[in-house]
Amino acid sequence: MNKRSYKFGECTLTLEFGDITSSRASVIVSSDDCQLSMGGGVSAAILRAGGREIMLDAAKKVPAKLGDVVVTTAGSLPAQYIFHAISIGSQNEAAGAKEVLHRTVTRCLDLLEALNLDSLAFPAIGAGVAGFDYKDVAVEMANVIAGRLTKATKSLQISIFLFDRFGRMEPLDFIMFFEEFASKVPSVAAHEVRVPVAITPSSGPKLTDLPDRQQGLRLRLMDLRDKQNRLEEQMVASGIHEGPGINELRARLAEIQNDRLDILAELKQAELERSASRPVEVFISYAHADEVLRNQLGKHLSILQREGIISAWHDRIITAGSEWKGEIDQHLESASLILLLISSDFVDSDYCWDVEMTRAMQRQKLREARVIPVILRPVMWQKTPFAKLQALPPEGCAVTTWANQDAAFLSVAEGIRTAAEEILAEPTS
């Protein structure tokens, strides 16, 4: 379960990991700079999903001040409005994260009331370019929102979306966040709506499939959860809210909570160490006319292979006697990182385009793999299915247009290193 809900009378606050553009709320909040450029993070995602109508409306209202909230159309999104919370001001403006969050969140809730609407979806305001830590953002926002909902005179549905950028977070990451959140914001956590979750064989790896250390840690977590449930049942059954007995139960629950957090941190580290021991499998899709350029890129990637960061594969590695299509399909399906080496020959190749690129984009959409277009030679690629992805070299400047092609390939290799290290830092089951 990747979300938790908290009830305040008739109002609900929900913390959820996911894409805010999927929200059905009447209002979606964007985190923006004072020029409302919508150039990155959540604002760029809202712009892509809602269309340029949002930006054109926002352009009428610049510049905005740090802490302001600007209201625009929601374009093609189902929401009625976009509230643009200004978390990055001009060079002459400065304010702490707590002040910015308090001002923008309060203003959004004021506007929701003024417009007589009852549902609003926040992102983690300022957790992108503004540099606020998203866990600290969630804590501060939840405190402000909870205070408001406690006094609300009508039913309100408020969500805070915490975006999992690459879609590779595991259930353990969600559990860790909510456990930490409960310890940091007990005044909100006390209102949590408990939803029983049925654990099925498909919900995660079997204990017997995990290394001994992880098996032991997960068994300890299960034991602590059982103890926590029994203590909570005792508290409810007693019907007593104060006194030595209740205080003792609360102290034991606090100890269990601390133990759980310690085990979760240890389990997270164990999974990081386990994932870091395996190189990232890289699939290279290219047209054979670009084989010379692919070889040059391979030389620059060899250092990453020697360091055990990546394991690169392309169709020239297929051994004699192997069924070539089956080999390609197998590696295309198992790779965590897929490179599309873009040129006029790649675009012209039916196999590169219809099979490899199409399947790569499907896996990217399903968040099963990360796809990086590498622009080898100039070609009209800006309206292709992969145009929305961050290309290499930076700015999509084709490798062959660089005065020094080694410098171009170095830039590409550095980008691939960054992507591979991010993948390695994410836990795997």
Q: What is the pLDDT of residues 325-379, one digit of tens each?
A: 677 888 899 899 999 999 999 999 999 999 899 999 999 988 889 999 999 999 9
Residue 328 located in a structural domain: yes
- Are 10 and 116 within one domain? yes
- Are 51 and 141 within one domain? yes
- pLDDT at residue 210 is higher than 70: no
Q: Which CATH number belongs to the domain containing residue 305 in this structure?
A: 3.40.50.10140
Q: Tell me, what's the pLDDT at 209?
A: 45
SS (H, E, C) 122-170: EECCCCCCCCCCHHHHHHHHHHHHHHHHHCCCCCCEEEEEECCCCCCCC
Residues 308, 364, 174: CA angle, nearest 5 degrees? 80
**Better-predicted residue by pLDDT, 289 or 248:** 289
- pLDDT at residue 208 is higher than 50: no
> How far apart are the C-alpha atoms of 78 and 21, rounded to whole Å?
9
Residue 132 located in a structural domain: yes
**Better-predicted residue by pLDDT, 114 or 422:** 114
Take residue 100 and report the two structure tokens written for it: 């910015």
Share of the chain above pLDDT 70, in %: 81
Q: Which CATH number belongs to the domain containing residue 186 in this structure?
A: 3.40.220.10
| Mean pLDDT along residues 121-128 | 86
The per-residue pLDDT for range 87-104, each reduced to its tens digit, is: 887 655 566 788 899 999
| Mean pLDDT along residues 36-54 | 84
Q: Residue 354 gets which letter from DSSP?
A: I
| Max CA separation in the chain (angstroms) | 80
Residue 429 located in a structural domain: no
Residue 60 located in a structural domain: yes
Residue 237 located in a structural domain: yes
Single out the residue in 275, 306, 331 at which a domain terminates: 275
Residue 367 located in a structural domain: yes
Peptide bond into 244 cis (omega under 30): no
Total structural domains in the chain? 3
- Are 65 and 116 within one domain? yes
Torsion of CA 189, 190, 192, 198, to 10 degrees: 90
- Are 35 and 139 within one domain? yes
Rg value, the chain, Cα = 25
Say whether 74 sits in a helix, a strand or coil.
coil
- Are 176 and 252 within one domain? no
Closest listed residue to residue 28, CA positions, set 2, 49, 5, 4: 49
Residues 74, 162, 59: CA angle, nearest 5 degrees? 30
Q: Tell me, what's the pLDDT at 291?
A: 94
- Are 335 and 263 within one domain? no
Strand pairing category for 337-342 and 280-285: parallel
58 and 71 in contact (C-beta within 8 Å)?
Answer: no
> How far apart are the C-alpha atoms of 13 and 192, rounded to whole Å?
9
- pLDDT at residue 198 is higher than 50: no
- Are 147 and 271 within one domain? no
Task: Determine the structural domain holding residue 236 and report its residue range.
Answer: 207-275
- Are 260 and 329 within one domain? no
Q: Tell me, what's the pLDDT at 17?
A: 86
Q: What is the pTM of this model?
A: 0.52
- Are 186 and 233 within one domain? no
Average pLDDT, the chain: 82
Residue 66 located in a structural domain: yes
Q: Residue 390 gets which letter from DSSP?
A: P
Q: Tell me, what's the pLDDT at 164?
A: 64
- Are 17 and 158 within one domain? yes
Q: Tell me, what's the pLDDT at 28?
A: 96
- Are 267 and 338 within one domain? no
Closest listed residue to residue 165, CA positions, set 359, 19, 366: 19
Single out the residue in 180, 202, 224 at which a domain terminates: 202
Confidence bin at 199 (pLDDT 50/70/90) = very low
Single out the residue in 202, 223, 253 at which a domain terminates: 202
The per-residue pLDDT for range 67-90, each reduced to its tens digit, is: 999 999 998 888 999 999 998 876
Please, what sign has the CA dihedral across residues 285, 286, 288, 292? negative
Which pairs from 314-322 meet CB under 8 Å and 24+ separation? 314/283, 314/284, 314/285, 314/286, 316/291
Range scoring the smallest mean pLDDT among 147-151, 164-168, 340-344, 381-385: 164-168
- Are 379 and 243 within one domain? no
Residue 302 located in a structural domain: yes
